[in-house]
Amino acid sequence: MNESHEAIYRRLAEHLDTLPDGYPPSTNGAELRVLERLFTPEEAELAVHLTLDRQTARTIGARAGLPVEEAAPRLDGMARKGLILSVEREGRPTLYQAVPFVVGIFEFQVNDLTPEFLADLVEYANTREDWPRVKSIPQLRTVPIGVSLESHTEALPYERVEELVRAHDRFAVAPCLCRTIAGMAGTACDAPVETCLFFGDWADFYVNTGRGRRIEREEVFRLLEQANEANLVLQSSNSKETSVICCCCGCCCGVLTPLKALENPADEVASAYRAEYDESACVGCHKCLTRCQMDAISRDGDRIVLAGNRCIGCGLCVATCPSGALRLVRREGADDAPPPDDVNAMWRVMRKVLADESHN
């Protein structure tokens, strides 16, 4: 990388580092090599002029010193490459938005992964400063599978997966990035791969850029049933109105795997629930043992032991329990901090925390 190109990519890295969860520097410049694989120098120069606000090519181009005739096709190309988010509007100019590296640019590469890109990414992961840069709120929220919530269980609309789905009328499904990467490495589990669900503008983006396929609401519910059967944890965007629901395993998932390695995963997740165990009702079938993705359940003779510090409230064990010995209850303090209204509001909260920290 020549000196002028290095300066361009460094500016882009610094720009991404101001977005939710940041993009911290590494000890050997690996973060720049990752960006060089994704962005041309011209795209990198334009990318620094996008923000979390959705704007037209004319507005972004003016900020970058480019005529709209040059900015618009470049932005369209960047959206197709998964470097930014685009929102197409019938009869009106397309809007463009910056997205974080995670969740965003990295996930958008699901159909374009190469061994070389992944090698650079691993090197970056091993040499970067702490990530996320500043801890604020998680980008994903654990949502119980629907059948695990009893009809009388207190739950807000954004805590019920069926309500999250019914709030939308546009849906898409795409391959799981994590199990795709594990498959390339020959380490994937046997869980289904086409499981990432997208809603609203994100669904349109995935379909319009060839990353996913359009589906109807009925197929969304069928895929959620499939996730339940495959012991997959549902993780929604941490907002009242969701843009994505990931169906995650504890062996391949880039979120659950590091979470599982912690001593107290329950303290690190956004979740309104935890499992509760009634030993007197347990019949010793042990069906729950293989369901838990957090190693929160272990066997003790004919009974089980539930480690509350490891439970993230996904409800997989509850849905399997034939005797009602396991049930979901609300966490203490679950209502103290409701999530932001939508993904954009969530990102603004995260960015403000990052900005405040950088000024201290």
In a domain, 135, yes or no: no
Q: Which of 95, 127, 159 is the last residue of a domain?
A: 127
In a domain, 88, yes or no: yes
Decide if pLDDT at 24 tops 60: yes
Contacts of 355 (CB under 8 A, 6+ apart): 18
Summarize the confidence of residues 294-319 as an average pLDDT.
94
Q: In angstroms, rounded to a whole number, what is the distance separating the alpha carbons of residues 336 and 105?
A: 31
In a domain, 168, yes or no: yes
In a domain, 292, yes or no: yes
In a domain, 311, yes or no: yes
Tokens standing for residue 109: 């590469």
Summarize the confidence of residues 307-313 as an average pLDDT.
96
- Sign for the CA dihedral angle at 229, 234, 240, 241 comes to negative
Query: Does residue 37 share a domain with residue 104?
Result: yes
In a domain, 257, yes or no: yes
More confident residue, 154 or 339: 339
Q: With bands split at pLDDT 50, 70 and 90, how would you rate the model's confidence at 149?
A: low
pLDDT at 359: 62
Query: Does residue 116 share a domain with residue 231?
Result: no
Query: Does residue 227 share a domain with residue 307?
Result: yes
Query: Does residue 81 share a domain with residue 55?
Result: yes
pLDDT at 291: 94
Q: What is the pTM of this model?
A: 0.93
The three-point CA angle 222-226-228 to 5° equals 115
Contacts of 57 (CB under 8 A, 6+ apart): 68, 71, 72, 75, 93, 94, 96
Query: Does residue 230 share a domain with residue 103?
Result: no
Q: In angstroms, rounded to a whole number, what is the distance separating the alpha carbons of residues 273 and 156?
A: 12
Q: Could you tell me if 58 and 28 are in contact, meaning their C-beta atoms sit under 8 angstroms apart?
A: no
pLDDT at 198: 98
Q: What are phi and psi of 224, to 5 degrees?
A: -70, -35
Q: Which of 127, 149, 166 is the last residue of a domain?
A: 127
Q: In angstroms, rounded to a whole number, what is the distance separating the alpha carbons of residues 216 and 19?
A: 32
Q: In angstroms, rounded to a whole number, what is the distance separating the alpha carbons of residues 62 and 58?
A: 6
Q: With bands split at pLDDT 50, 70 and 90, how would you rate the model's confidence at 358?
A: low
Query: Does residue 63 share a domain with residue 40?
Result: yes
pLDDT at 289: 93
Supply the range of the domain harboring residue 114. Answer: 3-127
Query: Does residue 233 share a domain with residue 147?
Result: yes
Reported as a single tens digit per residue, the pLDDT across 190-245 is 999 999 999 999 999 999 999 999 999 999 999 999 999 999 999 999 999 999 99
Decide if pLDDT at 29 tops 90: yes
CB-CB neighbours of 334 under 10 Å: 19
SS (H, E, C) 148-209: HCCCCCCCCHHHCHHHHHHCCCCEEEEECHHHHHHHHHCCCCCCCCEEEEEEHHHHHHHHHC
DSSP, res 76: H
Reported as a single tens digit per residue, the pLDDT across 167-182 is 999 999 999 999 999 9
pLDDT at 152: 46
In a domain, 212, yes or no: yes
Nearest by Cα to 196 from 220, 166, 229: 220
pLDDT at 65: 97
Tokens standing for residue 137: 């709120």
Contacts of 359 (CB under 8 A, 6+ apart): none
- Taken as a whole, the chain contains a residue count of 360
Tokens standing for residue 186: 């020959």
pLDDT at 264: 95
pLDDT at 269: 93
More confident residue, 360 or 31: 31
Decide if pLDDT at 8 tops 90: yes
3-state secondary structure of 237: strand
Number of structural domains found in the chain: 2
Nearest by Cα to 245 from 273, 275, 215: 215
Query: Does residue 151 share a domain with residue 269?
Result: yes
Summarize the confidence of residues 338-353 as an average pLDDT.
92
Query: Does residue 271 share a domain with residue 172?
Result: yes
Query: Does residue 97 share a domain with residue 19?
Result: yes
CATH number, residue 69 = 1.10.10.10
Decide if pLDDT at 360 tops 80: no
Q: What is the mean pLDDT of the chain?
A: 92
Query: Does residue 110 share a domain with residue 28?
Result: yes
Q: With bands split at pLDDT 50, 70 and 90, how would you rate the model's confidence at 336?
A: confident
Half-sphere exposure of 13 (CA within 13 A, CB side): 19
Nearest by Cα to 274 from 316, 314, 245: 314
Q: Which of 64, 96, 127 is the last residue of a domain?
A: 127
Instruction: Among 133-147, 306-320, 329-343, name the most confident range.
Output: 306-320
In a domain, 157, yes or no: yes
Q: Write down the residue that tokens 């007197």 correspond to.
A: 280
Query: Does residue 205 share a domain with residue 74?
Result: no
Tokens standing for residue 139: 């980008």
Q: Could you tell me if 81 and 92 are in contact, meaning their C-beta atoms sit under 8 angstroms apart?
A: no
